[in-house]
Amino acid sequence: MYHGWGRTRNYFEGWYYKIVDAKGQNALAIIPGISMDAEGKQHAFIQVMDGIRCKAEYHRFEANDFRPSSDRFALQLGPNYFDPSHLKLDLPGLKADLQLYDPTPWPKMLGAPGIMGWFGFVPFMECYHGVVSLHHALSGSLCLNGEDLDFTGGIGYIEKDWGTSFPQSWIWLQSNHFDTPSPTCLLASVARIPWLGTHFIGYIVGFYWEGKLHRFATYTGAKMKAQLGEKEVILAFKDGEYLLEIIAQPGPGANLISPISGEMTGKVNESIQAKAEVRFYRKDQLLFSGTGQHAGLEVAGPVEQLLCDDWRR
């Protein structure tokens, strides 16, 4: 639900809907949100990225058009509506009425009510991150530039961010499209996190497979490696029992607008045409090997800050 009650400046909040049709021929990211700059100037927005045609549009609204619910995740933004089970759009060149069902939320645990673990309780974080649904089914249609598109049988994903600014550098990867009989989802985020006058490299990783979420994160005590090849991003995460290896191959993308001190003045290139090769082990036993299609991938800022050839926390 909305976290920005009482905020008037240096603040942003937004939700990220990713939708891919059943044939994988259409993939969009739809991002509603609110922006408040350092002087208190505010506006609402909906960003739309067409991941196949590699185009992005920024639709600006008056702040008064941004009407979130006070007790659950539900947002009315002009004639557009967003909640965990419904996506309705009435934008220039884009109309949609989609139902979202069979959600897969990030499991809540004692001391870790969300994806950030106990870091979610820290009041001075630059950016907070949450997952609404790791994986869900889609039903309904969408009209894009006069073309009717059927999204029934497609797959979706919803996350959100809120705070002051996106990190100085980050790697973000997400895919729901593995060739498995039951839903499989990968989410990996590595970022430079400011902390009490210094910083640390934080990461949150979730691999949902065969009905169970395997978490690797700074707050779980896991370790990580991060490398950049000529045409690939190489990540690895391990704890006392499991090892997750990822090789992501970038694809064509488009520029999205990102927040800096609450103002939407930054830029980040995102692709929804990346691929993610995944291998998952228990000790030395290979449990899963597969490639995630239609992967969202962002590699932003001076990412050399994040890289490490040896295991580190």
Is residue 6 assigned to a domain? Answer: no
Please state, in angstroms and as integers, the Cα–Cα distance from residue 190 to each residue in 5, 6, 179, 223, following that order: 28, 30, 25, 12
Is the pLDDT assigned to residue 118 strictly greater than 80?
A: no
Mean residue pLDDT across the chain = 94
pLDDT of 124 strictly over 80: no
SS3 assignment for the chain: CCCCCCCCCCEEEEEEEEEECCCCCCEEEEEEEEEECCCCCEEEEEEEEECCCCEEEEEEECHHHEEECCCCCCEEECCEEEECCEEEEEECCEEEEEEEECCCCCCCECCECCCCHHHHHCCCCCEEEEEEEEEEEEEEEEEECCEEEECCCCEEEEEEEEECCCCCCEEEEEECECCCCCCCEEEEEEEEEEECCEEEEEEEEEEEECCEEEEEEHHHCCEEEEEECCCCEEEEEECCCEEEEEEEECCCEEEEEEEECCEEEEEEEEEEEEEEEEEEEECCEEEEEEEEEEEEEEEECCHHHHCEEEEEC
**Residue of 106 and 160 predicted with greater confidence:** 160
Q: What is the structure's pLDDT at 110?
A: 53
119 pLDDT more than 80: no
pLDDT confidence tier of residue 109, bands split at 50, 70 and 90: low
User: Residue 196: what pLDDT?
Assistant: 67
138-165: pLDDT as tens digits: 999 999 999 999 999 999 999 999 999 9
Residue with tokens 């997400």: 174
Could you read off the pLDDT of 35-93 as tens digits, one per residue? 999 999 999 999 999 999 999 999 999 999 999 999 999 999 999 999 999 999 999 99
Parent domain of 249: 11-312
* Mean pLDDT, residues 178-203: 90
Confidence of residue 220 (pLDDT cuts 50, 70, 90): confident
Note the pLDDT of residue 230. 85
Type of residue at 31: I
Contacts 24+ apart (CB under 8 A), 106-115: 106/130, 106/131, 106/134, 106/206, 106/213, 107/213, 112/219, 115/204, 115/206
Q: Is the pLDDT of residue 114 over 90?
A: no
Output the pLDDT for position 112.
59
Per-residue b or e along 242-280, where b marks 16 or more CB atoms closer than 10 Å to that residue's CB? bbbbbbbbbbebbebbbbbebbbebebbbbbbbbbebeb
pLDDT of residue 150: 97
Residue 284 lies in a domain: yes
Domain assignment present for residue 5? The answer is no
pLDDT digits (tens, 9 = 90+) for 267-290: 999 999 999 999 999 999 999 999
Residue 108 forms part of a structural domain: yes
Record the tokens describing residue 211, joined without a space: 């009905």
Instruction: Find the mean pLDDT for residues 240-266.
Output: 96
- Please determine, for residue 121, whether its predicted confidence score (pLDDT) is greater than 60: no
Is residue 167 in a domain? yes
Instruction: Give the per-residue pLDDT at 194.
Output: 82
Counting residues of the chain whose pLDDT is more than 70, the rounded percentage is 95
Give the C-alpha separation, 161 to 39, whole Å.
Answer: 21
In this predicted structure, what is the pLDDT of residue 199?
A: 85
Of the pLDDT bands very low, low, confident and very high (cuts 50, 70, 90), residue 100 is very high
Structural domains of the chain, count: 1
Does residue 3 lie in a domain region? Answer: no
Q: Is residue 25 situated within a structural domain?
A: yes
Query: Does 26 fall in a domain?
Result: yes
